[in-house]
Amino acid sequence: MARIFAALLLPPDVSAHLDEHIDGVRTAHPHLRWAHPTRWHVTLEFLGECGRHEVDRQLRRWEVRASRSPALRLRLYGAGTFPRPWMARVLWTGLSGHVDEWRRLAGYQQDPHMTIARTKARTDLTNLVAELGSYAGPWWTATEMAVVESHLRGGQGAGPRYEPLEVFPLGH
């Protein structure tokens, strides 16, 4: 069994910009479990635990989806939480740019986002969302997407290790 998801991976300069921007915030909020920048990605769809045949089916499915999607001009933008800022479990940054095209690639209408931190217990992050709400990262063009396997143990410190199984160009 493999635990997989489809995602857009960030270019190093985009990750570095966000990493630098939230450096002081991470220090001021050590009670949050901050995602390591090497694990940042924009999830298109979480596919869950899949057997070998389902993994193969999903690889074919996402290859077709990627071929039908244009390259996406995007940037990380703003901040928010799930479920609500005053009772948050997840802190995220959103996307701006070709968001409608992103939704078509992802296959649903959810607003695109990237998780940057989690909490064990519901926490009031209203002030943190306000502080990070004006964040605007550099623009980049997403020219590929990946189907990624998540290994829950191991990797760089605490947290999962992500291994791209296949990377598909967009629009080819």
Domain boundaries, the chain: 2-169
**pLDDT for 78-99, tens place per residue?**
999 999 999 999 999 999 999 9
| CB hemisphere CA count around 126 (13 angstroms) | 3
Is the bond preceding residue 138 a cis peptide, omega within 30 degrees? no
pLDDT of residue 155: 46
**pLDDT for 60-80, tens place per residue?**
999 999 999 999 999 999 999
Burial 19-57 (b: 16+ CB within 10 A, else e): beebeebeeebeebebbebbebbbbbbebeebeeebbee
pTM exceeds 0.85 for this model: yes
Confidence of residue 112 (pLDDT cuts 50, 70, 90): confident
Average pLDDT along the chain: 92
CA distance 6 to 46: 6
Radius of gyration of the chain (CA): 16
CATH architecture of 2-169: Alpha-Beta Complex (3.90)
